[in-house]
Amino acid sequence: MSTPPDDSNVIHAAGGILWRTSATGRELKIIRRTRYGLEWALPKGKVDSGESWTTAALREVAEETGCTARIGLYGGSQVYLVQGVPKVVLYWNMELISEGPVADTKEVVETRWVSAREASSLLTHTSERALLPRGSGFSA
């Protein structure tokens, strides 16, 4: 029987399912990152020491998409291993407030506004695609 990891051995990360309404309907922002090979993903990153989950989610979305957002309903989670260490990622639905340049240009090489259907076909990881049906709405 293995011993469960204590909280200090768990990677905490937060991200966003960033939405906007355009002339063609509801769209979400996805990013193309280079860190693990070229992959399409939802914006996310590690929670800094002393930072809340939602603050981290808003910060990561801003860094990786160039967008400021208003946080909405909880959108779901992912749990997976990174080199044998558990990683927990919590996501929140967010609504676009404004858009500017991407700050994290070392890791993020492209961003794109897409429909949920297009995101479902582009996102690299099944666990992120599974967040989309729950993430199609937004409530303040």
Q: What is the pLDDT of residues 8-56, one digit of tens each?
A: 689 999 999 999 999 989 999 999 998 777 899 999 999 999 999 999 9
**3-class SS shares of the chain: helix, strand, coil, % to 5:** 20, 50, 30
Question: Could you tell me the residue ranges of all domains in the chain?
Answer: 9-136
In single-letter form, the type of residue at position 26 comes to R
To 10 degrees, the CA torsion angle through 129, 97, 12, 73?
A: -70
C-beta of residue 118 within 8 angstroms of C-beta of residue 43: no
9-136: what fold? Nucleoside Triphosphate Pyrophosphohydrolase (3.90.79)
- Residues forming beta bridges with residue 21, ordered by sequence position: 26
- What residues contact 8, with CB distance under 8 A and at least 6 apart? none
Confidence of residue 140 (pLDDT cuts 50, 70, 90): very low
